[in-house]
Structure formats: C-alpha cells, structure tokens
C-alpha cells in the first residue's frame, strides 16, 4: 500500500510548481510514495497561523518569522531529531546568506532553507538605456530617479514595516542593535528610517501603498510601463526568465546608504515537518532530496523555484536562464538582515505597517509613530 505524504506551500510559480515537480520525480524514484501538495495565497502565507496547517499536513513551506512560534508550540519537529547532522551541517555552510540560521532557535533547526530571497534592486534595462540614465548606486541616486516618477516599490503594509526594519538595520550597523527587551529600535535610528521612507514615497505614485511585490513585478514587466526601477523588491527570479512576463527584467544589488549597502530584510522559505507526521523516515528522506545541492540547481530551479543553496546562485547555467539574477544580487543576500522571530512577532508584522504607512503619507509626528510601534512591539512580545 502506498505511503501518502501531504504538504502545504504558497500559490505562486515560485512556490507551488517546484514542489510538485520535485515530488513527481521523487515518486518515480520511490514508487511506494505518493506526495500531494496544496497551496495558499501570498497573504495567507505571510499571516496564517501554522498550528492549523500542521494539524492537516505533514510538511509546511513557511517563512522564518514563524520560528519562535514553532519552538514555543512544539507543533513542528526539530530537524536535528529527523535529519543527519552531516546533512544539516552542509546546509548551514552552503545556504545563501543567513537563510539557514534564520530557522535556528534554541539549538533547534525548524526548517531547511529551500528558497532564498531578500529585497533587491530591479530595473528595466531597455528603458534606462532609452533615457540614458545610469543604474542608481546610492540612496541619493534613487531619490534623483524618483523625482522623474520612474521609481516604484511595494508599499503595502507588510512591506513598509519590512523596509523600516531594513533601513534601521542599515543605520544601526546590523540587527544586533535592534529589537531589545524594552525597545523596538533606538529613537534616532527609527526616526531617520521613517523619514527616509517618507521622502522616497513622496516622490512616487500613491498607488504603491496598495501593492505587494508581485504586483510591482507585473507592472515593471509590462511593455508600456512608465517605471524604470525599484530600489528594494523581494526577489522573484521568475520575472528574469524569458517568457514569464511581457519584458524580461534585470536585477542588481541594492544601493548604498551613507557608504554602506542597504541591509534588506531576509525573506525566502523553509521546509518544515509537522509534529503530527507519521511517516517520518520517508519525509526526512524527501526533505533532504528537495534541499540537496543537485536538486536545488536543477529540478527545483527548472520548475520555477528560487534555490536556497549557494552553489545554485553561482551556477552558470542557472544564471544564463535567469538574465544573471542570482549572481547580480548574491551580495545583497549575503549582507541582508533577519527580522525578529520571537513568539508573537507576527502581530507586529501584521499591524506595524499601517503605522509606518501613516507616517510615510503625512510626515507628521514621528515621535508618535515610534511610540505606537514600540507599544505594539512590547504587546506582541508579552502576548498582551
């Protein structure tokens, strides 16, 4: 009788097809295994509680901010108990940027980093050349380009709070100086970050406050788009492949701010295992298959995936087929920051962006905005 495994991923060409494709090949190699994947929207991926999902599925594709919740609830199996130590050590050495350690907490490894992402610079090379404009290198360059209304970015609430974290980490010299027991960020750091967000938004179209990264990509890849450039947009390698959009996009590392590359906020996904899963030996083997170097830079990428394994980012064939996306943005991934992961953090992420948005739109009462953010932060940390 076949062994049936189930998984939940997210509904995008980068999230669902690669898991189905890799599972199909795994089934062919293991005829006794059947794997079924279901998908949820990007919005649900970012906010839906993992407890309910772990009750229904053997495997979950999730984002690293859920790590603290997973450790506290014990709803996921620590992979240290499931997967050989030498495989985990290889993953630790070879994941892109801080992807692997973003799923590590309290000595537990909650997920394998199968997808690597962070906000990167995205542009239309043909349009920049048409107007004889060079690619921005500094924050001031971005503002200069934005004055001509050629800049767009994802300004939806979730993304404004993540951009706030990015700027704070850059200004403070790393996330180690942020997210304390009693303070989200130092006042001067937060005030500067909010003002930088406001000054950029003031030069861009208001509709961006309703946009997520996918919507921005769809706009940038349109034949007749008026936009040339996005300074920080979560990487979606699909849009850099021929045939995916009307026009193929080009990517670059993010600009510098006062001489330091922006420390954008890590995204990507990890593959985790429910504590309710029964066929653990088979699941462990499949997880290693998905996350292995060979599959990451071949089947996983071929099916639209965005690998988390570093050698895939360096692979010549992978880069030839993605307009150089991976090699052109790898430095950004290596220097990005990790957002908070404590149990309760998701309340801050889900609500904090509205406070940041308000300041970006009005530019008034920076002290009040930071007080609101800090109150929300403390409430989320204490669960009250």
Q: Give per-10-residue mean pLDDT for the chain (384 aa).
A: 94 96 98 96 70 93 93 95 97 98 96 98 96 95 95 97 98 94 96 98 95 97 96 97 96 97 97 96 98 98 98 97 98 96 94 97 96 97 76
For tokens 């979730």, what's the residue?
A: 158
Instruction: Give the neighbor-by-neighbor strand order of the sheet with 119-123.
Output: 229-234, 119-123, 250-252
Rounded to 10 deg, the angle between the 187-201 and 139-146 helix axes is 30
- Whole-prediction pTM value? 0.95
| d(C-alpha 63, C-alpha 49), whole Å | 11
Residue 62 DSSP SS3: strand
Output the pLDDT for position 189. Answer: 98
| d(C-alpha 252, C-alpha 232), whole Å | 10
| d(C-alpha 54, C-alpha 319), whole Å | 35
| d(C-alpha 152, C-alpha 211), whole Å | 10
| d(C-alpha 51, C-alpha 70), whole Å | 8
Output the pLDDT for position 50. Answer: 84
| d(C-alpha 162, C-alpha 146), whole Å | 20
DSSP state of 298: I
Contact 115, 13 (CB under 8 A): no
Output the pLDDT for position 47. Answer: 60
């Amino acid at each position: 009788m076949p062994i049936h495994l189930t998984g939940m991923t997210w509904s995008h060409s980068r999230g669902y097809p690669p898991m189905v494709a890799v599972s199909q090949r795994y089934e062919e190699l293991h005829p006794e295994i059947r794997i079924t994947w279901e998908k949820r929207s990007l919005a649900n991926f970012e906010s839906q509680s993992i407890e309910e999902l772990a009750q229904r599925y053997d495997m979950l594709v999730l984002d690293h901010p859920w790590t603290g919740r997973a450790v506290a609830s014990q709803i996921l199996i620590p992979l240290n108990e499931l997967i050989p130590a030498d495989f985990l050590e290889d993953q630790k050495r070879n994941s892109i940027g801080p992807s692997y350690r973003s799923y590590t907490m309290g000595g537990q490894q909650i997920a394998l980093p199968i997808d690597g992402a962070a906000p990167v610079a995205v542009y239309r090379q043909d349009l920049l050349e048409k107007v004889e404009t060079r690619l921005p290198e500094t924050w001031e360059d971005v503002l200069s380009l934005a004055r001509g209304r050629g800049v767009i970015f994802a300004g939806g609430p979730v993304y404004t709070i993540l951009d706030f974290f990015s700027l704070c980490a850059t200004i403070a010299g790393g996330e180690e100086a942020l997210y304390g027991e009693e303070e989200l960020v130092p006042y001067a750091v937060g005030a500067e970050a909010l003002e930088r967000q406001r000054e950029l938004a003031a030069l861009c179209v208001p509709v961006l406050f309703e946009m997520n990264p996918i919507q921005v990509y769809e706009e940038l890849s349109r034949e007749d788009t008026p936009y040339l450039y996005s300074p920080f947009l979560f990487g979606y390698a699909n849009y850099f492949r021929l045939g995916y959009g009307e026009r193929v996009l080009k990517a670059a590392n993010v600009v510098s701010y006062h001489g330091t590359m922006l420390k954008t906020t890590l995204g990507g996904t990890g593959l985790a295992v429910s504590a309710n899963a029964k066929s653990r030996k088979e699941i462990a083997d499949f997880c290693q298959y998905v996350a292995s170097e060979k599959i990451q830079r071949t089947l996983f990428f071929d099916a639209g995936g965005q690998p988390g394994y570093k050698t895939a980012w360096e692979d010549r064939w992978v880069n030839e087929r993605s307009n150089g996306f991976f090699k052109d943005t790898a430095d950004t991934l290596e220097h990005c920051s990790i957002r908070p992961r404590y149990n309760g953090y998701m309340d801050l992420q889900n609500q904090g962006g509205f406070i940041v948005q308000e300041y970006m739109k009005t530019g008034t009462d920076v002290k009040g905005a930071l007080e609101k953010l800090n109150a929300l932060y403390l409430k989320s940390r204490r669960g009250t």
